Structure 1
């Protein structure tokens, strides 16, 4: 999933760079593409989703702060802690019950 995300990030970043005046086209595209991957993993109840959400939130906080979107940056900081707590919670639950198959 990671290499797919990187490829999609580069392709979409090139499109943003060519057709928009985006401030940080490749970083923006990375946030978008890895958010989509994280959401797909979440729908499949995969523990790896939280690693992707941590990555997305780690990138998003300074990105939004650099654009003076401080409230959005703080919100993504809160999401970062939520993803970390959820990762530990899911991991503990999976150790107790074993991996669950999606319904």
Structure 2
């Protein structure tokens, strides 16, 4: 499920409304780095509290797969949050799926 934006005055804003704007303005990558970091932090907290969780899945946009630093960014976030990588699943999301050239 894509991220939801909870804006106090508007309530829950659908990804269909904010993702196209984030893509157009170049903010999609920083937003999803934040989403990844927060998901890893939450997963680590739940595991530390003893919840028997298996994995957390985070959707990435195709633009992130074409960045040269995706692996290093994910590695950095895993180190920062101290989450073991086997608890994280990265999935491709979005209308522009990866294609073979």
Normalising by structure 1, we get a TM-score of: 0.37
Greater strand share, structure number? 2
Higher-RCO chain (CA-CA 8 Å, sequence separation at least 6): 2
Greater helix share, structure number? 1
Q: Based on CA coordinates, which of the two structures has the bigger radius of gyration?
A: 1
Normalising by structure 2, we get a TM-score of: 0.38
